[in-house]
Amino acid sequence: MAQRHRPDDDRAVDSPDADDADDDSDTDDSLSKGEVFEVLRNQRRRYVLQFLKQDARPVELGDLAQQIAAWEYETTLEDVTPEQRKRVYTTLQQTHLPKMDSVGILSFDSDRGVIESTERTRDISVYLEIVPGREFAWRELYLSLGAISCALVAALWLNIYPLTYLSNLSWAAIMAATFTLTAVIHIYYERNMRLGHGNQPPELNYSIEE
What pLDDT is attached to residue 121?
82
pLDDT at 103: 86
CA-based end-to-end distance of the chain? 14
Identify the pLDDT of residue 84: 95
Contacts 24+ apart (CB under 8 A), 54-61: 54/196, 54/199, 56/117, 56/121, 56/122, 58/114, 58/115, 58/116, 59/114, 59/115, 59/116, 60/113, 60/114, 60/115, 61/89, 61/92, 61/93, 61/97, 61/113, 61/114, 61/115
pLDDT at 196: 55
Can you tell me the distance from the alpha carbon of 109 to that of 24, in angstroms, rounded to the nearest whole number? Answer: 20
- Which pLDDT does position 15 carry in this prediction? 39
Three-state secondary-structure class, residue 59: strand
Contact 10, 71 (CB under 8 A): no
The rounded percent of the chain whose pLDDT value lies above 90 is: 39
The pLDDT, as a whole number, for residue 93 is 95
Question: Taking Cα atoms as reference points, which of 184, 183, 175 lies closest to residue 149?
Answer: 175
CATH no., domain 25-125: 1.10.10
Average pLDDT of the chain to the nearest whole number: 77
pLDDT at residue 22, as a whole number:
42
pLDDT in tens, 158-176: 989 888 889 999 999 999 9
pLDDT in tens, 114-157: 999 988 887 776 544 444 444 556 778 888 999 999 999 999 89
